[in-house]
Amino acid sequence: MQQLLLIAVRNLGTHKRRTLLLGGAIAGVTALLVVLMGLSNGMKDTMLRSATTLMTGHVNVAGFYKVTAGQSAPVVTSYPKLLEQLRKEVPELDYSVQRARGWVKLVSETGSVQVGVGGLDVENETGFRKVIQVREGKLEDLAQPNTLLIFEEQAKKLEVKVGDTVTLSAPTMRGTSNTVDVRVAAIAANVGMLSSFNVYVPNATLRGLYQLREDATGALMLYLKDMASIPAVQERLTRRLPELGYQVLEHNPQPFFMKFNTVNREAWTGQKLDITNWEDEISFVKWTVSALDALTGILTFVLLIIIAVGIMNTLWIAIRERTREIGTLRAIGMQRGYVLVMFLLESLVLGLLGTAVGATVGLGVCLLINAVDPSVPVIVQVFILSDKLHLIVKPGSMIGAMAFITLCTTLISLIPSFLAARMKPVTAMHHIG
């Protein structure tokens, strides 16, 4: 085997032009695939990080409170006690936040918009700080009462700037309308679709608007150390919380704001919890991620078809050029199996060298793009929920791409290698061309 490998390496060195041409093609495909995977991974990571920070946790313990059978509000009562129990039941927990929820009319002197409003305690929102890019004002000012964070798109519609006062208007749980004046404390960069219908105020301000108690909130958002634990944690909480005395709604994989009609038709009053995951709350992100995976798979398939055709054509040409050489090797005693293995080893070595060079180039391109930190068009921001493009190359994915292309390169060479091994020595040695 060592001798066959040595012959294969020498053959590659002898036919430098063909080796460089085919190796360059393999390297180019590998580099393109690494960049493509980096782009796909980066976009998915950006989408998930932005969406799960701004709108939902990995796992959410939210719920509805009904004063009467036909009227519900997205409220969780006595949340400090519930949060303490959740921390005991979820050892996979990284950190948690509590957010009040609401839907309000935001009114300025020149216009108004209907938006979803999230309450937060900005001092505890470490993840929020990493996602939000403040253009004007200070995020820390959101710790002050009756303040507001909006996005550039909303500020433009309402024609407001930092320091201006706007009014929040919403119906309370008792059916009466209430308003509160808030000061624009910060204006953040747009984050795609999320910046069209979300604003943020301190939790205390939102409780005051809806006339809620201090121990009431909208949802407890749990962020896990590993997102792979989400199904197990959700199943465990669905089973354990009823055992701890809480009433839990039947799982409905929809955002909370689409459940009001269903909940209002049910004949019960009081508190019921609703356990969801990020896919339930922001299904549009899941669809986008699935579309990205599908597109990556299609492009990978096309690239492999291109390289497969190139390899087979090149090897067939190589066999025709080396027919007399193959006949000589067979005449001096090399068996058919060894001829087959020799050509396979050539393809294997060529694949390993080509993919190694290509992966290095692809990684360099990804690092260069991240260093430039390019902005993306608005249409792209809508999908990736960020105004910046960031690529992520996972070592396992890069090694997997190298191994996959090398394996494909070797398998594709089977047909021409088998044809070379079947040549009769006498016929091959008398071949001219």
Kindly tell me if the per-residue pLDDT of 428 is higher than 60.
no
Q: Average pLDDT for residues 54-75, to the nearest whole number?
A: 87
Residue 364, strand partner residues: none
Which tokens sit at 8? 């294969």
Kindly tell me if the per-residue pLDDT of 230 is higher than 80.
yes
- Of the pLDDT bands very low, low, confident and very high (cuts 50, 70, 90), residue 306 is confident
Q: Average pLDDT for residues 161-170, to the nearest whole number?
A: 92
Kindly tell me if the per-residue pLDDT of 390 is higher than 90.
no
Strand boundaries in 125-164, DSSP class E? 134-137, 147-151
Amino acid 326: pLDDT: 66
- State pLDDT tens for residues 108-161: 988 888 888 899 888 888 888 888 888 899 989 998 999 999 998 899 999 999
Nearest Cα neighbor of 429 from 343, 323, 342, 314 is 323
In the chain, helix, strand, coil percent, each to 5?
60, 20, 20
**Residue type present at position 6:** L
Amino acid 345: pLDDT: 82
- Of the pLDDT bands very low, low, confident and very high (cuts 50, 70, 90), residue 381 is low
Kindly tell me if the per-residue pLDDT of 404 is higher than 90.
no
Q: Average pLDDT for residues 185-212, to the nearest whole number?
A: 86
- Average pLDDT over the chain reads 83
Q: Average pLDDT for residues 34-52, to the nearest whole number?
A: 82
Kindly tell me if the per-residue pLDDT of 383 is higher than 70.
no
Separation CA 5–CA 18 (nearest Å): 18
Kindly tell me if the per-residue pLDDT of 304 is higher than 80.
no
Separation CA 191–CA 42 (nearest Å): 15
Q: Average pLDDT for residues 278-299, to the nearest whole number?
A: 77
- State pLDDT tens for residues 199-218: 999 999 998 888 888 899 99
Amino acid 36: pLDDT: 84
Kindly tell me if the per-residue pLDDT of 432 is higher than 60.
no
- Of the pLDDT bands very low, low, confident and very high (cuts 50, 70, 90), residue 319 is low
- Of the pLDDT bands very low, low, confident and very high (cuts 50, 70, 90), residue 87 is very high
Amino acid 262: pLDDT: 87
Beta-carbon contacts of residue 14 (< 8 Å; ≥ 6 apart) = none
Amino acid 315: pLDDT: 65
Residue 138 per-residue DSSP state = -
Q: Which residue has the higher pLDDT, 67 or 416?
A: 67
- State pLDDT tens for residues 351-368: 888 889 999 999 999 999
Query: Are 170 and 100 contacting, i.e. CB atoms less than 8 angstroms apart?
Result: no
C-alpha of 148 from chain center = 29
C-alpha of 235 from chain center = 23
Q: Is residue 141 packed enough to be buried (19+ CB in 10 Å), middle (13-18) or exposed (0-12)?
A: middle
CA torsion sign for 252, 253, 255, 261 is negative
Q: Which residue has the higher pLDDT, 424 or 103?
A: 103
End-to-end CA distance of the chain: 30
Q: Average pLDDT for residues 319-333, to the nearest whole number?
A: 67
- Of the pLDDT bands very low, low, confident and very high (cuts 50, 70, 90), residue 260 is confident
Amino acid 266: pLDDT: 87
Q: Which of 52-66, 84-98, 329-343 is least confident?
A: 329-343
Amino acid 292: pLDDT: 73
Kindly tell me if the per-residue pLDDT of 85 is higher than 80.
yes
- State pLDDT tens for residues 9-33: 776 677 677 778 778 888 888 888 8
